[in-house]
Amino acid sequence: MANTATIEIGGKKYEFPLVEGTEKEVAIDIKSLRAATNGIITLDSGYKNTGSCESAITFLDGEKGILRYRGYSIEELAEKADFLEVAYLLIFGELPTKDELEKFHNDIKKNSIVDEDVHKILNAFPKAAHPMGVLSSLTSALTAFNPSSVNVESEEDMYNAIVKILGKMPVLVAWTMRKKQGLPLDYGDDSLGYVENILKMMFSKPNHKYENNKIYVDALDKLLILHADHEQNCSTSTVRITGSSHAGLFVSLAAGISALWGPLHGGANQAVLEMLEAIKADGGDTAKYMAKAKDKNDPFRLMGFGHRVYKNFDPRARIIKKAADEVLEALGIEDPILEIAKGLEKEALEDPYFVERKLYPNVDFYSGVIYRAMNIPQEMFTVMFAIGRLPGWIAQWREMRLRKEPIGRPRQLYIGETERSFVPIEKR
């Protein structure tokens, strides 16, 4: 294969190098385009064809349905690893040894106390506030309580910031839920595993000895692993671009949480459940909702379907669908919502509209069914996604800073008014 690409503009040819990744993907390096062509830029709204960076963290092939973290398949990690191991792998590049993992967990535990004054900020939010808004604000507020900026030249400084946020974020997540439910805050238990502790902080009751349910722990562990990274998606790109101005780790993460909130991204898991419940309340008429999804005059979309990069299947959705079946069976729950989801999936997979557009169930289509079986409130679903995505965001932020990437600053093609004279207010 040639190692350059030629672009011809107005009869003049410009050559640009081709860059090849380790999985043989090829990119045209257009760094010199604007300078060489005297101001011409590329236009790619939604960045459908634009690589924003080189990254060694996550590989995905949307055509083949492949997802790998640092070279390990998502299927193998979901089956054999736990969430903290995966977090370490994503952030530092290799699976931890037993000692490394133990140290990592101990350091996280040492950093899991949240300043009591954060509690005051939490109390100032109305109970009706959406947990994603609260989580984003509290994550941002953590900066005020940990004002020293991270010296990215220092591995130690970087490590300390990482264990701090991995320790404190689950506390903020649990507090956000408990505040909504009017429950006293729980500070966790150091003797528990990372994921066990998250569940304890969320579900313990002040008048009842808390006992962990292994089915819940295993299910949440798997869900968090499946959500842990997904290369340059909307929230991750937000974290990288925010951090590229050398803004700190915590505020970059707060920006990522806000980006994740939207229903086209992480907010889809809540939207899926709301959609399935609406279908159930409507007598289970899936055909009506299929027709709405296909109607171009109706803004309704089949939530949990479609993906920017997966055009064959989402490997995470396969694992989650199986997990949903197993969890519900193990808990002895028969949920009509799961049956509606399966029916809808079957119809969509046979419908030419969805087939032609290569629309398949994504990671969020079945995750809500599992969260629901675990008694996690619907408004908390996207928050659970955020806690899963945390190691991915951290890994991407760290990589971006260590690679000394320049500030993210896209260009635009201006389509507004050309120069005109100011009109005084009385003459308008």
Q: Is 382 in the site for ligand CMC (CB under 6 A)?
A: no
* Residues 147-186 close enough to bind ligand CMC by CB under 6 A: none
Residue number with CB closer to ligand CMC (188 or 266): 266
Residue number with CB closer to ligand CMC (248 or 306): 306
Least Cβ distance, residue 279 to ligand CMC (angstroms) = 14
Q: Is 359 in the site for ligand CMC (CB under 6 A)?
A: yes
* Residues 77-116 close enough to bind ligand CMC by CB under 6 A: none
Residue number with CB closer to ligand CMC (257 or 303): 303
Q: Is 397 in the site for ligand CMC (CB under 6 A)?
A: no
C-alpha 167/C-alpha 197 separation (Å) is 11
Residue number with CB closer to ligand CMC (90 or 150): 90
Residue of 82, 229, 314, 364 marked catalytic:
364
- Give backbone dihedrals phi and psi of 67, rounded to 5 degrees, phi first: -135, 125
Residue of 186, 221, 307, 314 marked catalytic:
307
C-alpha 242/C-alpha 134 separation (Å) is 19
Contact 14, 4 (CB under 8 A): no
Residue number with CB closer to ligand CMC (146 or 367): 367
Q: Is 230 a catalytic residue?
A: no
Residue 219: both structure tokens together: 């299910």
Considering only residues 280, 308, 311, 342, which one is a binding residue for ligand CMC as defined by CB under 6 A?
Answer: 308
Q: Which residues contact 186 (CB under 8 A, 6 or more apart)?
A: 174, 178, 200, 201, 202, 204
Q: CB-based burial of residue 278 (10 Å sphere; 0-12 exposed, 13-18 middle, 19+ buried)?
A: exposed
Considering only residues 232, 364, 368, 381, which one is a binding residue for ligand CMC as defined by CB under 6 A?
Answer: 364
Least Cβ distance, residue 308 to ligand CMC (angstroms) = 4
Q: Is 303 in the site for ligand CMC (CB under 6 A)?
A: yes
Q: Is 103 helix (H, G, I), strand (E, B) or coil?
A: helix
* Residues 255-294 close enough to bind ligand CMC by CB under 6 A: 264-266, 268, 293
Contact 201, 186 (CB under 8 A): yes
Cβ-count burial 123-162 (b if 16+ within 10 Å, e if not): eebeeebbbbebbbbbbbbbbeebeeebebeeeeebbebb
Q: Which residues contact 321 (CB under 8 A, 6 or more apart)?
A: 361, 365, 366
Q: Is 302 in the site for ligand CMC (CB under 6 A)?
A: yes
Task: Please choose, out of 200-208, 213-221, 283-291, 358-366, the segment that lies near ligand CMC by the rule CB under 6 A.
Answer: 358-366
Q: Is 364 a catalytic residue?
A: yes
In eight-state DSSP terms, residue 205 is: B
Least Cβ distance, residue 265 to ligand CMC (angstroms) = 4
Q: Which residues contact 328 (CB under 8 A, 6 or more apart)?
A: 334, 335, 338, 369, 373
Where along the sequence are the contacts to ligand CMC (CB under 6 A)?
Answer: 46, 233, 264-266, 268, 293, 301-308, 357, 359, 362-364
Q: Which residues are catalytic?
A: 307, 364
